[in-house]
A = this chain, B = another copy of it.
Amino acid sequence: MYSFSCDYEEGAHERILAALLETNRVQTPGYGEDVYCEQAAALLKDRAQSPNSRVYFFVGGTQANCTAISAFLRPHQGVIAASTGHIAAHESGGVEASGHKVLTLPSPDGKLTAGQVEQAVRAHFDDVTHEHMVQPAMVYISHPSEVGTIYSLQELTTLSGVCRREGLLLYLDGARLGCALNCEQSDVTLADIARLTDAFYIGGTKMGALFGEAMLVNTPGLDRDFRYIQKQRSGRLAKGRLLGIQFIELFKDSLYMDLAAHANRMAQKLRDGIAALGYDFYAPSPTNQIFPILPSAVLSVLSKAYGYSPWCRVDEHNEAIRLCTSWATEEAQVDAFLAALQKETAK
């Protein structure tokens, strides 16, 4: 049995574990006020060409999102997101639990357009009763999105422009950011993201770390008293060094990008192989999650040997599934999956 279900099914790249072992008995202060976190922050700001950004580390993405929204918005303000957005669909109401509404917009490809955002803003301010509605104050996007798609530099620039014009913050969830930055179609750099957003996070958990996300707050003042709120939301790890050490290891050379490149290459090999057998896809993803549409009959055989995530039923005989690759995906297993699919298809 081999699983393509998600990208957090193994531990961490071995260099991460080696770095933890090597630094294990060094004494440091707690809660991220250690030399490793300092070094990691400097590295990340350098890579993002954003010397004035402030860096905060989190254990997980839900925590990063909920803390940012809680810290950046006032009580009556809400955050615009695609209805498929992680904060809208898969955080068990964490954002609402901190008092804020997620204003969802429909999005077949997991992305938001500048036009949608403009229209949503207008709908909340044109009305004579606007003070009876939640005030939109932030736009949340994920890059890549929850269906693997990415923003072009043009799209991101336009969206950022609308947000600045309308007084909205732009926040980018980069749980799988390496895969977005490193895929063939991408013309967006880390520096572009730091320049165009008010805050974003660089995901570690799904990109080869044991766990960990690094948030860059780019807009001066936006992070006022941020550590208080991070603590309040349980988001300060006692041994904060563990996050610093991991991000140093990922970013001191090209490790982060190399691991993402591997994940993307494995996914695209799967995609090309599946397409070559004549199958279609639910969403056109250039990153490490792909969404082939396969016959239920075929899946009932494949599922005995391979793990995947059910996505949705397409028609009576066909289902979309999600195949997810990672830094740890074995190419031999990709080949074996494609061979098995070919065999079932030929029947």
Contact = CB atoms under 8 A, between A and B. Distances in A.
Interface of A: 2-3, 5-6, 8-12, 14, 17, 20-21, 23-30, 59-63, 66, 70-71, 74-76, 78, 89-94, 96-102, 104, 128-129, 131-135, 205-206, 210-211, 225, 227-229, 231-239, 241-242, 307, 309-310, 328
Number of copies: 4
A49 B231 CA distance: 34
Given A17-B20, A59-B59, A211-B239, A228 B135 contact: yes
Contact of A238 (B28, B205, B231, B237): B205
Given A134-B92, A232-B75, A9 B24 contact: no
B12 A131 contact: no
B96 A131 contact: no
Nearest to A330: B25
Given A9-B28, A96-B96, 6 more contacts: A8-B30, A11-B241, A63-B234, A71-B75, A90-B133, A131-B225
Nearest to A27: B9
A96 B101 contact: yes
A24 B11 contact: yes
The 5 lowest CB-CB distance pairs between A and B, nearest first, are: A63-B234, A76-B228, A11-B24, A92-B231, A92-B232
A120 B70 CA distance: 26
Contacts of A78: 93, 96
A6 B30 contact: yes
A8 B12 CA distance: 22
Given A9-B28, A27-B9, A97-B75, A229 B17 contact: no
Nearest to A66: B234
A197 B5 CA distance: 39
Most B-side CB within 10 Å, residue of A135, A231, A236: A231
Nearest to A90: B132
Contacts of A62: 231, 234, 236
B96 A100 contact: yes
A66 B92 CA distance: 16
A132 B92 contact: yes
A30 B231 CA distance: 25
Nearest to A130: B228
